[in-house]
Chain A
Amino acid sequence: MSSLPVNAYLLLALVLFCIGLFGALTKKNTVIVLISIELMLNAVNINLVAFSKYGINPGITGQIFSLFTITVAAAEAAVGLAILIALYRNRSTVQIDEMNTMKH
């Protein structure tokens, strides 16, 4: 395992973060956008866990931090989906480009 340098993990996290950001900014379906945000948050987890093993001062804190991140991300996704359901009941759509009733 230790044959892989820390850079490889960081690069993977960075790529995952960018894919997530791209998806969050371009996708039309709100569910996909929420999933993309989860991708970005998981990139953070990879970073934290990689640093907690191969970082400058390795330690368990990074893994604890990633547990907190996972929990909070789950709460955020739950609230996001709940709001999406409320919106769907009123508007019968989940397309982001149709949520445009508030233009000045």
Chain B
Amino acid sequence: MDMDTLLSYEWSIMAPEFTILLVATALSLIDLFVSKNVDRKLFGWFGIAGIAIALIFSFSQIGHEPAMILANTYRLDAFSLSFKILLLTGSLLVLLMGVSFEARGELTYRGEFYYLLLTGLLGAMMMASSADLITLFVGLELLTISSYILAGTRKKSRYSNEAAMKYVINGGISTAFTLFGMSYIYGLTGSTNLADISREISNITPANVQVLLSIAFILTFVGLAFKISTVPFQMWAPDVYQGAPTPVTAFLSVVSKTAGFIIIIRVLISIFPFTQGFEENTSLLHSLMIFLSVLAGMTMIVGNTIALKQRNIKRLFAYSSIAHAGYLLVPFVAFSELMFESMWFYLVAYLLMNIGAFAIIQVMTEHSDSEDVSIFAGLYYRRPWIAIMMTVFLLSLAGIPGTAGFIGKLNIFIGALFSDPSRYILAVVMIGTTVISYFYYFGIMAQMFMRPAGSAAQVRLPVGVTITMVFCAAGTITLGLFPGLVLEFFQTQFNFAEMFY
């Protein structure tokens, strides 16, 4: 490869990635050379500026023709762009939270926190636009390894150590599963390029290969289930969410989970719909949907029921995020035309309501030594606005009309009913578990509005958290009342047929 070939690539389509890469590298170098007395919070604002620039680049790319560079391993299309915007927005809000994270000397390694968050984001963005198993895997690991360290940044805290250790072990096992599945996919097609794989894979018909392919599918999916914390790899979530610093928890529950869904959609949708299934005229994806629907149902049930008996607020939100991953699998199982739209919209709603809730949890846990649900007692009588915003997020998480969460759930529900064949059982499980979830969400609201104030400690609101909270609350209500704003933008700007080669 000579200079001309290198220069002939359309590098500008990677502008958002390059921005994040530059900022992360610059921050890690500056952190190394600058004296210890310099306030590392400046780094946070630098990172925020970098993400904002990357967001502007991404928005300017809307409407760009699908393009591939780097020997067809990097792909810019509607799918990657729409999800990249989500990842960037999520990280921006998490960084805003992180800048004002002040928990009693727990975040001694502030510089590391900022640039590891950025490298994690870079990995997630590479996953969103990769068109090759190798880059997909490297992006996935960049995100995962950054998150391992992020979960353990409170080096002196035994909870944080333990969380990181459990995360590494679970993550390592799941990586091995994913890779083992991918190695079979490679073996049966002889290529790691997703476009080549989807072409090759439709040609192979022998029956014994189908068994191998189903094994590959199941192994890959089970491994990726770790990233989205669904059954069977959900056990790490409560411990890691509890032990990690709150901004990291928000990052894991939103950005990392979105990235997991991206890679699942990318790999499974570009490979398996074109494969001959066990019966005539069905695809392998259809034949294996029963497996996925069982996992989705179990995830919703496990997440929502175990959340009922949680007293620790971060553990409670961990189980709630497991439950939401279950809801998000439903459109994937239903596999209707509404799939992308409803998944994307639900991820937007989930991003807003979950980061908002975590911002408030961060403020509340900083000012009291415990993480028990009772720290919310009488919040309405101390700081009514925080209580009202928390109520908005909780109502949205529970899926009450007027909030973004409701519209998201409604889209998923309609998609499940009108798909072919209809997923009645899954829809019923979804409604049932949503009702169960009312108990624990409303439990927090009961604390805020009906209990006397436990402590008189003043809750101080740093500027970063305030911006995050207000933005998320405004977004949640706006999308709840006028979902058309975003849905219409989505339908006109993003053409998902582009993702098939």
Q: Could you list which residues of chain A lie within 8 angstroms of chain B, going by C-beta atoms?
A: 13, 17, 20-21, 24-25, 30, 33-34, 37, 40-41, 43-44, 47-48, 50-51, 55-59, 61-62, 64-65, 68-69, 72, 75-76, 79-80, 83-84, 86-87, 90-91, 96, 99, 101-102, 104
Over the window 195-227 of chain B, the binary record of Cβ atoms lying under 8 Å from chain A Cβ atoms (1 yes, 0 no) is: 000001000100000000000000000000000
A64 neighbours in B (Cβ, 8 Å): 134
Q: Within the assembled complex, what's the spacing in Å between the Cα atoms of A44 and B184?
A: 9
A84 neighbours in B (Cβ, 8 Å): 165
A44 touches B179 (CB 8 A): yes
A96 neighbours in B (Cβ, 8 Å): 169
B450 at the interface (CB under 8 A from A): no
Distance in Å from the Cβ of B468 to the closest Cβ of chain A?
A: 26
Could you say which of B141, B182, B310 contacts A76, with CB atoms under 8 Å apart? B141
B311 at the interface (CB under 8 A from A): yes
Q: Within the assembled complex, what's the spacing in Å between the Cα atoms of A101 and B238?
A: 12
Over the window 135-152 of chain B, the binary record of Cβ atoms lying under 8 Å from chain A Cβ atoms (1 yes, 0 no) is: 001100100110011001
B168 touches A90 (CB 8 A): no
Beyond contacts A37-B176, A104-B310: 12 other A-B pairs, Cβ-Cβ < 8 A, are: A43-B176, A47-B183, A56-B204, A57-B190, A68-B134, A72-B141, A72-B175, A83-B165, A101-B158, A101-B159, A102-B239, A104-B312
Total A-B pairs, Cβ < 8 A: 149
B157 neighbours in A (Cβ, 8 Å): 90
A87 neighbours in B (Cβ, 8 Å): 158, 161-162, 164-165
A102 touches B165 (CB 8 A): no
Distance in Å from the Cβ of A10 to the closest Cβ of chain B?
A: 8
Could you say which of B141, B176, B190 contacts A20, with CB atoms under 8 Å apart? B176
Complex: chain B residue closest to A59, CB-CB: B190
B95 at the interface (CB under 8 A from A): no
Distance in Å from the Cβ of B348 to the closest Cβ of chain A?
A: 31
Could you say which of B137, B138, B164, B191 contacts A83, with CB atoms under 8 Å apart? B164
A48 with B165: in contact, given A40-B176, A61-B191 (CB under 8 Å)?
A: no
A76 with B134: in contact, given A40-B180, A91-B161 (CB under 8 Å)?
A: no
Q: Within the assembled complex, what's the spacing in Å between the Cα atoms of A30 and B266?
A: 34
Q: Within the assembled complex, what's the spacing in Å between the Cα atoms of A25 and B8?
A: 50
B192 touches A99 (CB 8 A): no
A69 neighbours in B (Cβ, 8 Å): 137, 179
B164 neighbours in A (Cβ, 8 Å): 83, 86-87
A51 with B172: in contact, given A30-B165, A84-B165, A101-B158 (CB under 8 Å)?
A: no
Q: Which 8 residue pairs are nearest across A and B when measured between Cβ atoms?
A: A57-B190, A51-B187, A40-B176, A37-B172, A47-B183, A87-B161, A44-B179, A80-B168
Q: Within the assembled complex, what's the spacing in Å between the Cα atoms of A95 and B182?
A: 32
B190 touches A58 (CB 8 A): yes
B28 at the interface (CB under 8 A from A): no
B166 neighbours in A (Cβ, 8 Å): 99
Sample of 20 A–B contacts (CB below 8 Å): A13-B183, A34-B172, A47-B183, A47-B187, A50-B187, A55-B187, A55-B190, A56-B187, A56-B189, A57-B191, A61-B186, A65-B133, A76-B144, A76-B171, A80-B165, A86-B152, A87-B164, A90-B156, A104-B310, A104-B311
Over the window 21-33 of chain B, the binary record of Cβ atoms lying under 8 Å from chain A Cβ atoms (1 yes, 0 no) is: 0000000000000
